[in-house]
Each structure stands twice: as C-alpha cells, then as structure tokens.
Amino acid sequence: MVLMITYDKMEEEALKRNIPVMQKEGILFLIEQLHKRQAKSCLEIGSAIGYSALMMTSNVENLHVETIELNEERYQEAVKNITQYHYQDQIDIYLDDALTFDCTRLKHKPYDCLFIDAAKAQYQKFFEKYVPYVNKNGIIIVDNLDFHGMIFDIEHIKNRNTKQLVKKIKRFKDWIFNHDDYEVEYYHIGDGICIIKRK
Ligand code: SAH
Ligand code: MG
C-alpha cells in the first residue's frame, strides 16, 4: 500500500523526544486494516501528540477518529497538530484518563475499530471497558505486544519494573488468546500487533 500523506517530521520529532508513536510498519498495517474493512470510525486509546490519529484520518477516506489522552502536555500538542492540519472535523480528542472516562461522551459509537495504544499494564481494563462500543463485526487492534521482544524471554529481564510490566502484557496476551468469545490474529509487525474479533 502506498501512503498518500505522511507526517515524517512529526514522527521524527516524537521519537527524538521519546514519545512512543507507532512505528511506520505498524501504522501502515493499521491503515491497511481500516481500508480493508472500509472503516468509518475508530476509537483510539492513547493519542500522544496526534500522530496516529492524523495518519489514519489522512489516509482512510471518510474515517472519523475519537481519541483519548491522559497527559495534558501531549493533549495540547495533539490539538495543535490536528488544528494545524485542519482535521478538527474528523478527529475528536479528549483529555482524560481512559480508565475513568465517561463513555456517554463518545459520539460515534459503535466503532468499526478500537485501537488500544496506551498504558501497557492496563490493556485488559481498556479492552473490557471499550469492547462494548465496538460494532458486532468490528475489530480491536492492540499495539506493543512484544515489548521489544522481551516478552519471549521474561526470566532474563533484569530490571524489576520492566519485568513486572512485561509479565502484565504476557498476562493480557494469554487471557485474550484463550478467551472463548474472541479470536486473535497475531502479527510480528512493529512491536507486535494483534487483531481481535468476536467469534
Ligand atoms: N497512538 C499514538 C501513541 C500513543 S503513546 C501514536 O501512535 O501516535 C501512549 C499514550 O497513551 C501516551 O501519550 C500516554 O500518555 C497515554 N496514556 C497512558 N495511559 C492512559 C490512560 N489511562 N488514558 C489515556 N491515555 C493514556
Ligand atoms: Mg504503541
């Protein structure tokens, strides 16, 4: 797939400042999935500075994105970026903790896609809270399931906090892969992405 619009400068700047925006491969994959399903709406958990939201809306026709960001500074920067590129009509961004966010505020539910890209230790909570707002035939995409490959060798992780975090990601992975109601496809793309669908 050829991308029509990219935000290379924004991506580069974000990476320089350690803002974990999606890797190019990963965002391409996400956009491809949205295309394939002719998605009209996506709910994103974790906006950071709006990079992925802009990439999605710029490259998927008639897509509406709603996105939630906890960090005020990043939220402000995202608003600035979204405004600068004139995507205010296609992107709604909320400054809030997605875990306590009031879902009655959501405008485009149910969504064709739920994209989870926020605090990794909370993936199951995000999933359980927002999956009721996904269309019956919609998809849930989760990023960063490999944690830089560490997930495959947890016992050798030295840093205690990192180890705890990776264990939590592993727990989510095991939980979702063994869930009776969902089927999961795993892709070794970017930092590990999976697509979850209702059975
Ligand atoms: N999707 C973005 C990257 C998101 S990085 C992109 O690819 O461009 C993850 C973001 O999730 C961070 O900015 C972090 O502040 C945010 N986050 C973490 N926990 C959150 C929560 N509970 N609710 C909302 N946002 C959260
Ligand atoms: Mg990510």
How many A from CA of 110 to the centre of ligand 2?
23
Given this model, what pLDDT does residue 141 score?
97
pLDDT value of position 1? 60
* Ligand 1 neighbourhood includes 54 CB (under 6 angstroms): no
Give yes or no for residue 190 CB within 6 A of ligand 1. no
Which ligand 1 atom sits closest to the C-alpha of 115? 1
Ligand nearest to the CA of 122: 1
At residue 3, the pLDDT reads: 62
DSSP string, the chain: ---S---HHHHHHHHHTT--PPPHHHHHHHHHHHHHTT--EEEEE--TTSHHHHHHHHHSTT-EEEEEE--HHHHHHHHHHHHHTT-TTTEEEEES-TTT--GGG-SSPSEEEEEE-S-GGGHHHHHHHHGGGEEEEEEEEE---STTTGGG-GGG--SHHHHHHHHHHHHHHHHHHT-SSEEEEEE-STT-EEEEEE-
How high is the mean pLDDT in each 10-residue block of the chain (199 residues)? 83 95 93 96 98 97 97 98 98 98 98 96 96 98 86 88 91 95 94 94
Say what the pLDDT of residue 54 is. 98
What is the side-by-side strand order in the sheet with 64-69? 91-95, 64-69, 41-45, 111-116, 134-142, 193-198, 182-187
pLDDT at 190: 86
Does the beta carbon of 21 lie inside 6 Å of ligand 1? yes
Measured in angstroms, how far is the CA atom of residue 43 from the centroid of ligand 1? 13
pTM of the model: 0.96
Q: Which ligand is nearest to the CA of 54?
A: 1
